[in-house]
Amino acid sequence: MSLWQVYPDVGSAMTPHLIVMFDGQEPGPDTEVRVMVGSDSVDVIPSATTERAWETTVGVAPGDLVTVTISNNDGTWDMPTILIPEPLTSVLPMRLLIAISIFLATAVAWWAGGRTAQAWRRPLPSRGVG
């Protein structure tokens, strides 16, 4: 089993949701997944995007302690408690990069527009003519 975080929220304020995946094994119909965040139980539903997986319906915050319990007719297993780390955010100055890119794309589009018109005004040399 592996536990994944996904980041469905906005770029600057992402909170991870959890996906509990069963790797390479088909969980039986009697399998039940329970997730505790701290001392609170949170809702878990079968994942719409990932096979053999369940996911939480609300985000958890970095620093939360998460405990996953799997149970079926054969028994109950408590997974080791997981400390939610800080979400993966870019170390890149994205707003600056976007501003530079927009400026560059606009300037190039303007230049290319003029040069494309110039290229199409020029008659293509016909065969055998230098």
Please report whether residue 88 would count as binding another protein according to CB under 8 A.
yes
Binding mask of the shown chain, residues 16 to 55, with x at each position contacting another protein by CB under 8 A:
---x-x-x-----------------------x-xx--x--
Instruction: Pick left, alpha or beta for residue 75 (phi over 0 → left; psi -120 to 50 → alpha; otherwise beta).
Output: left
Candidates 32-40, 58-66, 77-85, 94-102 — which segment interacts with another protein by CB under 8 A? Answer: 94-102
Give the per-residue SS3 of 64-92.
CEEEEEEEECCEEEECCCEECCCCCCCCC
60 closest CA partner among 52, 48, 68: 68
Instruction: Pick left, alpha or beta for residue 24 (phi over 0 → left; psi -120 to 50 → alpha; otherwise beta).
Output: left
Compare residues 77 and 110 and give the one whose CB is closer to another protein: 110
Site residues, another protein (CB under 8 A): 2, 4, 6-14, 19, 21, 23, 47, 49-50, 53, 88-92, 94-95, 97-98, 101-102, 104-105, 108-109, 112, 115-116, 118-130
